Amino acid sequence: MKSKILLTALLSVSLMACAQETPKVKHKKTNTSGKSNAQKVKFANATDPICHMPTEPDMKDTAVYKNKTYGFCSTYCKDEFKKNPEKYAQK
Ligand SMILES: [Zn+2]
pLDDT in tens, 49-84: 999 999 998 899 999 999 999 999 999 999 999 999
* Cα–ligand 1 centroid distance for 77 (angstroms): 5
pTM above 0.85, yes or no: no
* Cα–ligand 1 centroid distance for 2 (angstroms): 87
3-class SS of residue 87? helix
Give the residue among 67, 41, 77 at the shortest CA–CA distance from 56.
41
Checking if the pLDDT of 30 tops 50, the result is yes
* Cα–ligand 1 centroid distance for 38 (angstroms): 25
* Cα–ligand 1 centroid distance for 61 (angstroms): 9
Q: What is the residue type of 39?
A: Q
